[in-house]
Structure 1
Amino acid sequence: MPESRRTKELPASLLTDPEMIDACLIRDFARVFRLVKVRAGIFPSMIARQCELTPSRVGEVIAGRRQLLHMDVIERIADGLRIPGHMLGLARREWETPVALAVAGREPPDLVQPSAGLRALAALPGVEVDGILALAAGTKPSPSTLRALRSSIEDYWRRDDEHGGETLRPAVVGQLRYVEGLLTGQRPTPIQNGLYGIAAELARLTAWTYFDGRQYQQARAYFSEALQLAREIDDHPFMANVLACMSLQATYQDKPADALALVSAAQDKARAASRATPRVRAMLAMREAFAHAILGDRKATHTAISEAHSQFEHICEGDPDPPWVTYFDEPKLIVDTGIAHGRLGEVAIAEPMIADALAREDPANQRGRAFHAFWLAQTQLQRGKLDQACHTAIEALVPAAAVSSERVTGHLREFYEQLAPYREAPAAVAFEARLRATLSPQGQRTPSSIRT
């Protein structure tokens, strides 16, 4: 093999290690390759190039999905990694004899014609990639690493509110898998726990993007993954948060019993945690109110609403609220209270509360503004305020058009269907005209094609 394609020699400590000797003896190349990577710093791409294999083939071997049995392949591995022949049951290899003692020297490298196999290796990763991989593997997560990752999560949530999460999902999943890869190493406990917390939040964010897209099965899978990651560090408040998210999803799936069971489990987790703040407890109580409202249990709904407001009154400026609950501010408490009353049919109570909260909502939260505007329009319509309802719905089209969210589309369709008895009224005609202009400037789509 040309000198320019040779990796560094395996350390003597590895070649004499009983585990390496045993792996070579039985030709367990998955174990051999893992030991070579960990103990000698020779990465799979380097193994592939030196042994004239493809990176995918090496990856399959390491993953246990493929075995290497052909003698010519085993010889290439021995020569490429400089594993003495006897360790693999082979004859002594030519390179094992020092050059100075060889009977006949090799041809100069510039006279050797590359074989077809070597020419095919030109497409494999080069030395520069190996160096980058080595650098990445040597990176040790630090407190600044955790701060950077948390900052990116905050940015993801902000962009999710403004534009929807569908286009963010590939980046979020990629970062989730990256952080999970870091968890395989041995780290100081604060760093390791921080990585678990970040991975759990990334899994929850991924689940949320699927939930917002009404892809409920995928959402549930990622919510479950978030629960498992949080359980590793006994983060009971975060587990409560994930269960509360799953409860909210159950309300959208018209599964109120499931919603109530999930939020009850969330509250159990919060009670078991000494660091569950009043804001966390208030948010959970409001999710419980949603579940009771869908079940039509008026008394239980009002009790849960009272508990939410009572807990919210105990919030202090210095409370150690986790970042994931800071969204639950006073406007959010008020609008959720209005929605809970609206679900019970108490629209006279619901309308002013939703209107007040909507007036104070952050303009950047496009999805939230669209949700709550359509809720307000529905309550106004139920109160017989047709003109006002249509005006509110027209204003809701602006943030609705700015965000990609199947849940927003669902609320829009609900209002459109409730408007059916009033189709000929001037206010309804105006709303439909604006709806057509918003969804289909060229008139190619009609309101009936809105996806649910």
Structure 2
Amino acid sequence: MASSGAVPNHAFRRLRGQRSPGEFAAAVRRAAREIGEQVACDARYIGRVEAGEIRCPNYAYERVFLHMFPGLSLTDLGFTARERVRGRGARARTGAPLSPITIHDRGVGDDEESDVRRRAFMAGSTTSVAAVSLGLALGVPAPRGRAGRTEASAVEEAVRRIRLLDDRHGADGLYRRAAEPLRTAYELLDAGTSGRATADRLYAGAGELALSVGWLAHDSGRLQDARSHYAEALATARVAGDPGLEAHAFCNTSFLARDAGRYREAVRAAEAGQHAARQLSSARLVALLALREAGGWAGLGDRAACELALGRAHAWFGRGPSDADPEWMSFFGEPELEALEAQCWSALGDWRKAARHAHRAVALQDPHFTRNLALYQAQLAADLVRAGAPEEGASAGLRVLPLLDDVQSTRIQAMLRDTARALAPGGRSEQVAVFLERTRRV
């Protein structure tokens, strides 16, 4: 049922025809696979679109819908043009309230006007602040008192928006801006909900939001903050009895532990995540957790255990995607599989094998995901240099630098600095000299 004030999307409903929402969602997932996208579309998502709760789809869904209905635009599909729902200009034109914490595509910094509005909004109720601060323009005032479906949807949309912007721009400029919606989400949980179904959605949404904010901290080098957010998400999963959220929390915790040099913890967290994932039906989730385990074994220098975990990861990955794959795993396709394996071989000191897998990751990656493309290129540059190919490594590094105009990631910048340090003692070919000079400027 549509929220009051939402305008039903009759055009999209007509395109569904006689198919049920579940059947149409399956068609969307098939179309996504045809173009190399991964979307976790289900009947509930289709229902939200038709109810008008989703005014404009994210970029992944946009590409899928335009592939399914060639020749039609977003407005033909019944959606609002993106420029009307994203950015300050659209809100100013329509008279919609400016969110103090809105996360949108046209910059991530606070300004004087948002500071003034923040103080004004904080005088209102918790749920009113939530609907606005989570950046979801619903067109109606949020209810007071207990949280309902509107607030649960706002939390879910905030998670999607953060992930979208991270794919495009990296974490550095987003982290502090995303922390306030997270605080609000947990305030909503404390305030209570209007029913069990809403409570389940809100717990899951708050946990996923904690993981998304934790990842922004992780990728921007704030490892202790990330550890705290991941622990918060794990506690939320345990309270809610949500094995999917628990597996996700352990997955991120394992990744963080590996990056922090706590390799035994990385292995244990990945194993715990695989135990939680057994209650689900997602082969891809188990594959990713096996890769996390492999990364821990590689850090410990245990090549045999790493190879066993990699073998399990490939076997589970080979079973293909399924309807049970979590929405947050949309990033996990063949390019990420190759990149994570490259990291394992790097940790084991097999630079040539690492470079081969990193090259495959770059070749397979959709250029739309700018942040991942920059990460894979940086990984390739590091592996080539250490494999004894300095000029090729410098060339790969140079291809990363233009992407940093759009991507703000402390992790990627640190990788480039490490590669520059590895090159500095060597010869001064023209390509290497250009890379070193441009890296210094960045």
Same fold (TM over 0.5): yes
Unaligned segments of structure 1, at least 5 residues: 1-123, 440-452
Give the C-alpha shift of residue 182 in structure 1: 2.3
Q: Deviations over 1:252-295 (max 9, x none)?
A: 21221221222222222223x2x141010000000011111111
The 5 Å alignment of 1:326-405 reads 326-405=330-409
Moved more, 191-200 or 410-419: 410-419
The CA distance in 2 between the partners of 1:236 and 1:163, in whole Å, is 30
Matched, 1:282 2:287: yes
Tell me if the contact between 2:384 and 2:390 (Cα under 8 Å) persists in the aligned partners: yes
> Which consecutive segments of 4 or more residues in structure 1 shift more than 6 A?
132-135
Tell me if the contact between 1:173 and 1:202 (Cα under 8 Å) persists in the aligned partners: no
Moved more, 348-357 or 186-195: 348-357
Tell me if the contact between 1:366 and 1:400 (Cα under 8 Å) persists in the aligned partners: no
Give the C-alpha shift of residue 330 in structure 1: 1.4
Matched, 1:188 2:195: yes
Tell me if the contact between 1:196 and 1:229 (Cα under 8 Å) persists in the aligned partners: yes
Matching residue within 222, 227, 231 for 1:224: 231
Q: Report the RMSD for the aligned CA atoms in angstroms.
A: 2.6
Which one-letter code corresponds to 1:174 in the other structure?
E
Aligned to 1:157: 163
Tell me if the contact between 1:237 and 1:276 (Cα under 8 Å) persists in the aligned partners: no
Aligned to 1:324: 328
Give the C-alpha shift of residue 242 in structure 1: 1.2
The size of the alignment, in residue pairs, is: 310
The CA distance in 1 between the partners of 2:284 and 2:120, in whole Å, is 51
Tell me if the contact between 2:298 and 2:348 (Cα under 8 Å) persists in the aligned partners: yes
Give the C-alpha shift of residue 159 in structure 1: 0.6
The CA distance in 1 between the partners of 2:120 and 2:390, in whole Å, is 66
The CA distance in 2 between the partners of 1:329 and 1:298, in whole Å, is 24
Tell me if the contact between 1:422 and 1:428 (Cα under 8 Å) persists in the aligned partners: no
Tell me if the contact between 1:285 and 1:304 (Cα under 8 Å) persists in the aligned partners: yes
Tell me if the contact between 2:142 and 2:150 (Cα under 8 Å) persists in the aligned partners: no
The verdict on how the C-alpha distance between 1:426 and 1:202 changes in structure 2, with shifts beyond 3 A counting, is same
Give the C-alpha shift of residue 129 in structure 1: 6.4
Aligned to 1:203: 210
Matched, 1:174 2:180: yes
Give the C-alpha shift of residue 435 in structure 1: 2.3
Give the C-alpha shift of residue 327 in structure 1: 1.4
The 5 Å alignment of 1:141-156 reads 141-143=147-149, 145-156=151-162
Aligned to 1:303: 308
Give the C-alpha shift of residue 430 in structure 1: 1.9
The CA distance in 1 between the partners of 2:410 and 2:360, in whole Å, is 25
Matched, 1:270 2:277: yes
The CA distance in 1 between the partners of 2:393 and 2:143, in whole Å, is 58
The verdict on how the C-alpha distance between 1:270 and 1:125 changes in structure 2, with shifts beyond 3 A counting, is closer
Tell me if the contact between 1:374 and 1:392 (Cα under 8 Å) persists in the aligned partners: yes
Which one-letter code corresponds to 1:167 in the other structure?
G
Which one-letter code corresponds to 1:178 in the other structure?
T
Matching residue within 236, 239, 261 for 2:243: 236
The verdict on how the C-alpha distance between 1:167 and 1:375 changes in structure 2, with shifts beyond 3 A counting, is closer
Tell me if the contact between 2:155 and 2:185 (Cα under 8 Å) persists in the aligned partners: no
The CA distance in 1 between the partners of 2:120 and 2:314, in whole Å, is 60
Tell me if the contact between 1:230 and 1:239 (Cα under 8 Å) persists in the aligned partners: yes
The CA distance in 2 between the partners of 1:136 and 1:284, in whole Å, is 39
Aligned to 1:435: 439
Tell me if the contact between 1:341 and 1:347 (Cα under 8 Å) persists in the aligned partners: yes
Aligned to 2:265: 258
Which one-letter code corresponds to 2:319 in the other structure?
H
TM-score for the superposition, normalised by structure 2: 0.65
The verdict on how the C-alpha distance between 1:268 and 1:383 changes in structure 2, with shifts beyond 3 A counting, is same
Which one-letter code corresponds to 1:425 in the other structure?
S
Q: Percent identity?
A: 28
Give the C-alpha shift of residue 331 in structure 1: 1.4
The verdict on how the C-alpha distance between 1:170 and 1:125 changes in structure 2, with shifts beyond 3 A counting, is closer
The CA distance in 2 between the partners of 1:231 and 1:303, in whole Å, is 30
The CA distance in 2 between the partners of 1:154 and 1:335, in whole Å, is 23
The verdict on how the C-alpha distance between 1:299 and 1:399 changes in structure 2, with shifts beyond 3 A counting, is same
Unaligned segments of structure 2, at least 5 residues: 1-118, 130-140
Matching residue within 400, 418, 421 for 1:417: 421
Give the C-alpha shift of residue 382 in structure 1: 2.5
Tell me if the contact between 2:420 and 2:439 (Cα under 8 Å) persists in the aligned partners: no
Tell me if the contact between 2:346 and 2:383 (Cα under 8 Å) persists in the aligned partners: yes
The verdict on how the C-alpha distance between 1:138 and 1:309 changes in structure 2, with shifts beyond 3 A counting, is same
Give the C-alpha shift of residue 125 in structure 1: 8.7
TM-score for the superposition, normalised by structure 1: 0.63
The 5 Å alignment of 1:18-29 reads none
Matching residue within 205, 209, 213 for 2:220: 213
Give the C-alpha shift of residue 141 in structure 1: 4.7
The verdict on how the C-alpha distance between 1:150 and 1:133 changes in structure 2, with shifts beyond 3 A counting, is closer
The verdict on how the C-alpha distance between 1:432 and 1:166 changes in structure 2, with shifts beyond 3 A counting, is closer
Aligned to 2:99: none
The CA distance in 1 between the partners of 2:205 and 2:192, in whole Å, is 16
The verdict on how the C-alpha distance between 1:364 and 1:139 changes in structure 2, with shifts beyond 3 A counting, is farther
The CA distance in 2 between the partners of 1:391 and 1:161, in whole Å, is 24
